[in-house]
Structure 1
Amino acid sequence: MELWAATTIRQPVSRVYGHWRHLENLSTFMTYIDRIRPTGERTSHWTAITPFGHRLEWDAELTDVVPDRQLGWRSVGEAELPNCGRVRFDPAPDGVSTEVRALMVFVIPGTELGGMISRYFGDTPNELLDDDLHRLKQILETGEVVLSDGAPWGKRSRKEFPQRPAQPLSAGELARGAPA
């Protein structure tokens, strides 16, 4: 499965690249990335939680590192979900902003997990990466991700699909708080 998306962020290339280069920041805007722990100068350990609650872990290495321009990576070893990707950071024509173009490729295994992942993503897998880049844009431009009432507790609310139309939370929902 190949995912691609692009956005323009009103921040200089060095800031956008720097935020992404600190891989532990990816979990703040990528929906299914739970944690990334650097293990070396170009290596890291990734943990993801699928929409079905299945935990995936793999090691990755940076492959194409061009400061303030591009980052590439690939999974190494025995990854349950082999993957690779690249993100480019280009100055936008306005001279202030950064154009971000991301590509991610996943090898969906022929297992039961692979079938579930394929069915879940359906015809619109690029929307997931597009939404991730939109959250990155919000973080870098405003300092936070704006949440709808359908997901008032951010990533912890994954079990709340589908979202309902915007409306205030009920007293019971406020009392329950974020799901554990």
Structure 2
Amino acid sequence: MSELRDDDAPITTSKRSDKIGDATGNLVEAKGDSLVGRSVTIKRPREELYAYWRDFSRLPSFMDNVERVDVIDDATSHWVVKAPGGKTVEWDAVITEERPNELIAWASKDGADVPNSGRIDFRDAGDRGTVVTATILYDPPAGFIGKIIAKMFQREPAIQARRDLRRFKQLMETGEIATAARTRKQFEEETA
């Protein structure tokens, strides 16, 4: 029988159950049951990407579901995020660990509409730029049913993380995010 080999796959995609446990253990404060992990390589220096991300008020510029992030102080922010059915969910988040130009970890405060925690890692990729990895642990409202509904409305964090990282890559590499000729907002204004 072959032995398990150590792999370098992202923790959230590893087939080894002990590594999946590491994903939640690596979060300073694990809040949530559903684990999401996504990575993207961006042809920009790690320091530049970290600096942009660390200014949380800029995150709505590429995070489609994030309506706004109000920075309360250096470690605390208030998030307003779109949810299915035209509703929003809100929470306060606190930075639980930070290593400049390497990682930002957070956890929602008690009373969050969607308890969550996670981390964003920035790792050098040599001539290719920087690998940015988002690891998110969350509790969907209404449990499994809420997760299914969120997926139907394209508001599920696994879907959003992939799209948001792709938009972040576009913004950082080209200075803009590619959109359809008419945005959803323009279409709604025209049909109203």
TM-score range, shorter chain: 0.7 to 0.9
Shift of 1:77: 2.4
1:69-80 → structure 2 map (5 Å cutoff): 69-80=102-113
Q: Which residue of the partner structure matches residue 161 of structure 2?
A: 129
Whose helix fraction is larger, Structure 1's or Structure 2's? 2
- Unaligned stretches of 5+ in structure 2? 1-33
Shift of 1:84: 0.7
1:1-150 → structure 2 map (5 Å cutoff): 1-94=34-127, 97-110=129-142, 115-121=145-151, 126-149=158-181
The amino acid across from 2:57 in the alignment is E
1:179–1:103: structure 2 CA closer, same or farther, 3 Å change rule?
farther
The amino acid across from 1:78 in the alignment is G
CA contact 2:84–2:149 (8 Å) conserved in 1: no
Greater alpha carbon shift after TM alignment, 64-73 vs 100-109: 100-109
Separation in structure 2 between the aligned mates of residue 7 and residue 110 of structure 1, nearest angstrom: 30
CA contact 1:44–1:60 (8 Å) conserved in 2: yes
Separation in structure 1 between the aligned mates of residue 79 and residue 57 of structure 2, nearest angstrom: 9
Q: Secondary structure at the match of 2:41?
A: strand
Shift of 1:142: 0.8
CA contact 1:153–1:178 (8 Å) conserved in 2: no
Separation in structure 2 between the aligned mates of residue 117 and residue 135 of structure 1, nearest angstrom: 23
Q: Which residue of the partner structure matches residue 183 of structure 2?
A: 153
Residue-by-residue CA offset, 1:94-143 (whole Å, 9 max, x unaligned): 1x6111011111112437xx734433326x85332111100000111111
Separation in structure 2 between the aligned mates of residue 143 and residue 178 of structure 1, nearest angstrom: 27
CA contact 1:32–1:51 (8 Å) conserved in 2: no
Separation in structure 1 between the aligned mates of residue 174 and residue 191 of structure 2, nearest angstrom: 26
Separation in structure 1 between the aligned mates of residue 108 and residue 99 of structure 2, nearest angstrom: 19
1:142–1:23: structure 2 CA closer, same or farther, 3 Å change rule?
same
Q: Secondary structure at the match of 1:52?
A: helix
Taking structure 1 as the reference length, the TM-score comes to: 0.78
Q: CA RMSD in A?
A: 2.4
Separation in structure 1 between the aligned mates of residue 180 and residue 100 of structure 2, nearest angstrom: 35
